[in-house]
Amino acid sequence: MQQLPEVWGILNVTPDSFSDGGRYVDAGAAIAHARRLRAQGAGVIDVGGESTRPGADPIDPAEERARILPVVTELVREGIRVSVDTIHASTAEAVMAAGAEIVNDVTAGLHDEAMLRTVAAGGARIVLMHSRGIDVTVDTDYDDVVAEVEAHLQERLAAAEAAGIPRSRVILDPGFGFSKQPGDNWRLLAELPRFTRIGPPLLVGTSRKRFLGELVPDGAPSEERDAATAATSLLAAQRGATAVRVHDVASTVASLRALGAMHHAERLPAAAAHGADGWSIDLATGAMLEPPQLHGSIELRGVRGFGHHGVLPEERRDGQEFVVDAHLSVDLHDAVTSDDVADTVHYGELAEQLVAAIERDPVDLIETLADRLAGVCLAHPRVEHASVTVHKPSAPIAVPFGDVAVTVHRGRERP
């Protein structure tokens, strides 16, 4: 079953944002609102200190930092995961030092040429969004909006990797509402699976955008777009979005929970829907409650692949054999119940994927290779934790040796 997207709650610490400008300029009010958003189900709070609404005046990065740093610092202290919406490398550096987990750049690093290098050094994840600059109302003509947005995201992903940001730390965003006509946004939503095939997780932010204003009466306040936001977030979930970014967390969380309940019902045998086979019904909400998970492990040992990894020129030139052992922690409940390979990890396919990853572009260290292979394992939704050991039996060591190996342990990253 496809995992539901994580919900990001929008927190604008600005006097001039199009929807809620001025409500949370005070740090105390902003922190209180962030707590409400988390209580409503937000997994990440996305803090912004500079408005991107049409006609907004740019601000000095020092003023942006003064607005958001007290909020970011307190939220991190309380254990709340924080993303910061900024186009300034100096602000990104400061918020990463304060503990922000994600930098959300609506220009994908194009506004500030130091942004990608700064995020690479700081270790945060980065959202690369499609836009044509920070003025969202200009340059809205496309020959093929889907193809052009896709090409832009691929180009910015390559730029991020060239700057030292691993693909595993990148999130892509098609940029709903930025330099796009209403019809462009609907086409992007319809074609969302095309963007998921690029590889990194996908963030969708339709919240209260102008194109949703066409669905409500003329002159209605932006808050009346929340139902349409929840609907488009649900549509995005069905098309592969990993996260959705919204102002009204409660309505979107409820819509996604309804989708999740339906998915559960579709997969249940008739008896389970009546409370058998470990399933139960929450009488207060009518929701179906899953039975406890059945944790287990899958071992895949001695997978052999040929690659050109190593620090020495002859290793890069001639290549050598690498041997991989993978230990996977897996939820086996559905597999045991259904006796269907689709509900577990197909270890034959995984072995082929590991070999393909070994054969990919070379790296210096087997530590790096082991982390790459752990990421391959964790791409399987059933895998909760992966321990991957890479052996280098032909390592160029000047003394007799039996084996050299590196082991990496990785749990599933949150989107």
What pLDDT, on the 0 to 100 scale, is given for residue 268? Answer: 54
pLDDT attached to residue 322:
95
Higher pLDDT, 4 or 284: 4
Q: Domains in the chain: how many in total?
A: 2
Provide the mean pLDDT of the chain.
87
**Does residue 405 have a pLDDT over 70?**
yes
Selected catalytic residue, list 81, 245, 372, 392: 245
Residue 286: inside a domain: no
Q: Which of 245, 262, 279 is the last residue of a domain?
A: 262
Instruction: Give yes or no: residues 206 and 99 share one domain.
Output: yes
* Residue 162: pLDDT band with limits 50, 70, 90: very high
Residue 189 pLDDT: 96
**Which pLDDT score, from 0 to 100, does residue 53 have?**
59
Among 100-104, 139-143, 186-190, the range scoring the smallest mean pLDDT is 139-143
Q: How many C-beta atoms lie closer than 10 Å to residue 216's C-beta? A: 16
Q: What is the CATH number of the domain that holds 188?
A: 3.20.20.20
Question: pLDDT tens, 66-83?
Answer: 999 999 999 999 999 999
In this predicted structure, what is the pLDDT of residue 341?
A: 86
Q: Which of 239, 262, 285 is the last residue of a domain?
A: 262
Q: Are residues 113 and 237 located together in one domain of the fold?
A: yes
Across residues 181-191, what is the average pLDDT? Answer: 94
pLDDT of residue 59: 84
15: domain range? 6-262
Is 156 one of the annotated active-site residues of the chain?
no
| 264-322 residue pLDDT tens | 676 655 544 444 444 444 433 334 454 555 678 899 999 999 999 999 999 999 999 99
Both 113 and 223 in one domain: the answer is yes
Q: What CATH number is given to the structural domain containing 377?
A: 3.30.1130.10
The answer as to whether 290 is a domain residue is no
Q: How confident is the model at residue 413 (pLDDT cuts 50, 70, 90)?
A: low
Residue 224: CB atoms within 10 Å: 15
As a whole number of angstroms, the distance between CA 167 and CA 199 comes to 8
Residues 238 and 375 in one domain: no
Q: Are the C-beta atoms of residues 265 and 279 closer than 8 Å to each other?
A: no
152 lies in some domain? yes
Query: What's the pLDDT score for residue 221?
Result: 87
Q: Considering the domain boundaries, does residue 225 fall inside one?
A: yes
Q: List, for residues 38-70, the tens digit of each pLDDT value.
A: 999 999 999 998 876 565 677 899 999 999 999
92 or 29, higher pLDDT = 92
Closest CA to 299 of 396, 388, 382, 186: 388
Assign 342 a pLDDT band (cuts: 50, 70, 90): confident
Higher pLDDT, 209 or 1: 209
Q: CA–CA separation, 263 vs 238, rounded Å?
A: 11
Q: Are residues 253 and 314 in the same domain?
A: no
Of 13-22, 293-302, 391-400, where does the model show the most confidence? 391-400
> Per the structure block, which two tokens stand in for 353?
């994927």
What share of the chain in percent tops pLDDT 90? 67
238 and 305 assigned to the same domain: no
275: in domain: no
Neighbours of 313 (CB within 10 A): 8
pLDDT tier at 201, thresholds 50, 70, 90: very high
* Per-residue b or e along 115-134, where b marks 16 or more CB atoms closer than 10 Å to that residue's CB: bbebbbebebbbbbbbbbeb
Residue with more model confidence, 253 or 133: 253
**In terms of Cα–Cα distance, which of 376, 380, 368 is closest to 335?**
380
| pLDDT of res. 100 | 96
Identify whether the C-beta of residue 38 lies closer than 8 Å to the C-beta of residue 73. no
Residues 373 and 234 in one domain: no
- 268 in a structural domain: no
Q: 359: pLDDT confidence band, cut at 50, 70 and 90? A: very high
pLDDT of residue 105: 96
Among 67, 209, 225, 410, which one carries the catalytic annotation?
209
pLDDT at 2: 55
- Please check whether residues 310 and 255 belong to one and the same domain: no
Residues 306, 210 share a domain: no
Residues 78 and 220 in one domain: yes
Query: What mean pLDDT do residues 249-256 have?
Result: 93
- Rounded to two decimals, the pTM is 0.64
Is residue 285 one of the residues assigned to a domain?
A: no
211, 240, 262 — which closes off a domain? 262
Same-domain check for residues 239 and 331: no
Look at residue 285 in the predicted model and tell me its pLDDT. 39
pLDDT at position 271 is 42
Catalytic annotation on 392? no
Both 131 and 227 in a single domain?
yes
Q: Does residue 205 fall inside a structural domain?
A: yes
Which range is least confidently modeled, 175-184, 231-240, 266-275?
266-275
The pLDDT of residue 276 is: 42
- At residue 204, the 3 state secondary structure works out as strand
Q: Give the amino acid at 46.
A: D
pLDDT for res 280: 45
